[in-house]
Amino acid sequence: MADEKRKPKLDLKDLKLGETMSLKLKSAKEIATGQTQYGDWYLWAGEVKDFTVREGEKGSEKIVNNFTGEVVFFPTEKLHEQFMAITGGVNIDIDIELTKLVEEGNNGKLIKKYVARKMSNGGPQKATITPTEMRLITEIQELKADGVDITEDIFITASQEPQYESVISEERAKQLFKAVQNGNN
């Protein structure tokens, strides 16, 4: 996620009420997630054309108008759900139109709402293996070549060792183990 932190941030509050912007979803699902006292957050990767973004740390960020390029952003929970429905958790590079609307809630308060409309289907995400993952796979294959029996549990445990920088999740380790077992690395 270090590279994502350097990318400019798209702040959805810069989208004016009633305005529609073009956005390309560069990931099939959030690239990071977490929780705060206000609830869950989801970090997505996208690409904008001629839109306002923010660069730098919060508090000292600078506004860049008419930016074109890759960005990261935090959609609302409902918008995150729309993105998941649009991508199916599989497709990337999907062009969408994002519109900011307002509607009246049950208690008479106005509620900000974002509506995403899919404009293209994009395509499936290509499998990529990071250099850290490749180092793990290579070392495991060397052990196997020496006659060491590597189970999924051993593989997952090995993936969490310090030399792999704590960047391989347990779920990703399971995927990599299956790839190694099938010879598809």
Domain's final residue, options 75, 103, 124: 124
- Reported for 149-157, long-range contacts at CB under 8 A and 24+ positions apart, including other chains, are 150/180, 152/177, 155/180
Domain shared by 53 and 135, yes or no: no
Domain shared by 77 and 164, yes or no: no
Domain shared by 90 and 165, yes or no: no
Which domain covers residue 138, as residue numbers?
A: 131-182
Cβ-contact 53, 71 below 8 angstroms: yes
The answer, yes or no, to whether residue 124 has pLDDT greater than 90, is no
Domain shared by 53 and 104, yes or no: yes
The answer, yes or no, to whether residue 57 has pLDDT greater than 60, is yes
The model's pTM is 0.66
What percent of the chain is predicted at pLDDT more than 70? Answer: 93
pLDDT of residue 4: 47
pLDDT of residue 138: 85
The answer, yes or no, to whether residue 163 has pLDDT greater than 80, is yes
Mean pLDDT of 53-81: 93
> Based on the structure, what is the number of domains in the chain?
2
